[in-house]
Amino acid sequence: MPAPRLATALNSPTLDLERSIIDGVSVIEHWLRNEWQKHAVPFYCSVDLRNSGFKLAPVDTNLFPGGFNNLNPEFMPLCVQAMMTAVEKICAGARSVLLIPESHTRNISYLQNVATLQAIMRHAGLDIRIGTLLPHITAAAEVDLPDGGKLTLEPVQRRGNHLVVDGFDPCAVLLNNDLSKGIPGVLQDLEQIVIPPLRAGWVTRRKSQHFNAYDDVARQFALLIGIDPWLINPYFAACGKINFHEKKGEDCVASTVDEILSDIREKYAEYGVKEDPFVIVKADAGTYGMGIMTVKDGAQVRALNRKQRNKMAVVKEGLQVTEVMVQEGVYTFESIKDAVAEPVIYMIDRYVVGGFYRVHTGRGIDENLNAPGMEFVPLAFEDTCLLPDRDARPGSSANRFYAYGVIARLALLAAAQELEKSKTRTKANVA
């Protein structure tokens, strides 16, 4: 697969950005190495990026990545090698792991992700079984997968302060479930290691806290390689309690939208960008692209019709949207055969292990590609993100993918810092 054509006339600033990153490889890797001495890296992570031609930025950082099956199978060894390191970190003694997936069993593509993750961990030498939280699964159930394989889901049981499945008392519990519905009792107060920590779930996690941390990381990084931090960092602000049904808190959202639009307009003027600024209004907690809205004017927020209000009011598994984040929209100017494409980068421990493009023909360049009903086509990166090449021509796929890997790792570093802060907060709440 060729890297998508960068379908933009505005590509000189991006190539500048990419050039700054490629020229800075040794400075960047050195800096990252030092940062990882100071911060505990999340076990795994995926980052949605947007590349507008003049700007390259993360727009979503997922601590429970669900698309390992979309990665290029050729790079499985990279995943296995990274997993070996990740496992050492959580506990050198760990040998058996219970993986807790999401509970939407009908999403076969998601289950293929679980099977891929299981395979990676098995190759890395772990005994791994899949425990389901679904109450209607009362005995081991085998699911047929698209690739011809099978996945066995087993009902979890609580034995004292251990989460077990039949005949298997694991050292560690690995969550691939973002806890949108809250933290089930069966997962609370476990003596086993739980990764990521429960506070990484959407009950406590806030996107705005992540992007707060990213603000700092992006500022430091920009200083390091001498660029304007805005080129890698979307403006954002959080609004407090909102009730879309009852039209409460809308004023805050509308005025925030206008402020951010105005800030973007200034930057667009500075860089000679001719596009229309837009912002994304989304739930501050939650995932799966529900409750997301593209807005080009604060007035639009006040003029929502009932259908739009309903759409914004509820995200995954019925979680109510009560807090909202407004984020600068970043145009996607990457396309594959005229379909809009958005890169997603996967990391295990601090290593970039691959990525894919989320490709969608029916969407505009200013829309969220991870939206309900969206049937995106994943397109695995043909190259890794590990081989920057100073001598390659600007815009070469090796360099573009390396730049993606760098920006994704900045988001990973932000996630690490975010989790540190939430740890302190959780402790303070207990005290």
Beta-carbon contacts of residue 51 (< 8 Å; ≥ 6 apart): 6, 14, 330, 332, 333, 334, 343, 404
Considering the rule CB under 8 A, would residue 80 count as an interface residue with a copy of itself? yes
Give the largest Cα separation in the chain, rounded: 64
Instruction: Pick the piece of the chain touching a copy of itself (CB under 8 A) from 121-129, 187-195, 317-325, 411-419.
Output: 121-129
d(CA 61, CA 189): 26
Considering the rule CB under 8 A, would residue 28 count as an interface residue with a copy of itself? yes
Instruction: Characterize 333-363 residue by residue with b for buried, 16 or more Cβ atoms within 10 angstroms of its Cβ, and e for exposed.
Output: bbbbeebbbbbbbbbbbbbbbbbbbbbbeeb
**Measured from the CB of residue 29, what is the shortest distance to a copy of itself in angstroms?**
2
Among 49, 57, 99, 124, binds a copy of itself (CB under 8 A): 124
d(CA 50, CA 280): 13
Among 76, 190, 339, 392, binds a copy of itself (CB under 8 A): 76
Among 122, 199, 267, 296, binds a copy of itself (CB under 8 A): 122
In the window 218-247, what residues touch a copy of itself (CB under 8 A)? Answer: none
Considering the rule CB under 8 A, would residue 184 count as an interface residue with a copy of itself? no
**Measured from the CB of residue 128, what is the shortest distance to a copy of itself in angstroms?**
9
Considering the rule CB under 8 A, would residue 39 count as an interface residue with a copy of itself? no
Contact 237, 256 (CB under 8 A): yes
Q: Using CB under 8 A as the criterion, what x/- string covers residues 263-302 for binding a copy of itself?
A: ----------------------------------------
Instruction: Pick the piece of the chain touching a copy of itself (CB under 8 A) from 92-100, 186-194, 272-280, 363-371.
Output: 92-100
Instruction: Pick the piece of the chain touching a copy of itself (CB under 8 A) from 122-130, 246-254, 285-293, 360-368.
Output: 122-130
Token pair in block for residue 179: 């806890």
Q: Which long-range contacts (CB under 8 A, 24 or more apart) does 425-431 make?
A: 426/199, 426/204
Considering the rule CB under 8 A, would residue 329 count as an interface residue with a copy of itself? no
Considering the rule CB under 8 A, would residue 217 count as an interface residue with a copy of itself? no
Considering the rule CB under 8 A, would residue 157 count as an interface residue with a copy of itself? no
In the window 344-383, what residues touch a copy of itself (CB under 8 A)? Answer: 351
* Cross-strand pairs, 61: 47
Instruction: Pick the piece of the chain touching a copy of itself (CB under 8 A) from 6-14, 118-126, 239-247, 310-318.
Output: 118-126
Helices and strands in the chain, H and E counts: 9, 19
Q: Which long-range contacts (CB under 8 A, 24 or more apart) does 156-162 make?
A: 156/98, 156/100, 156/131, 156/132, 156/186, 158/186, 160/191, 161/189, 161/190, 161/191, 161/192, 162/190, 162/191, 162/192
Q: Which residue has the tokens 């700054």?
A: 20
- Residues binding a copy of itself (CB under 8 A): 25-30, 32-34, 36-37, 74-78, 80-82, 84-85, 87-88, 92-96, 122-127, 351, 384, 386-388
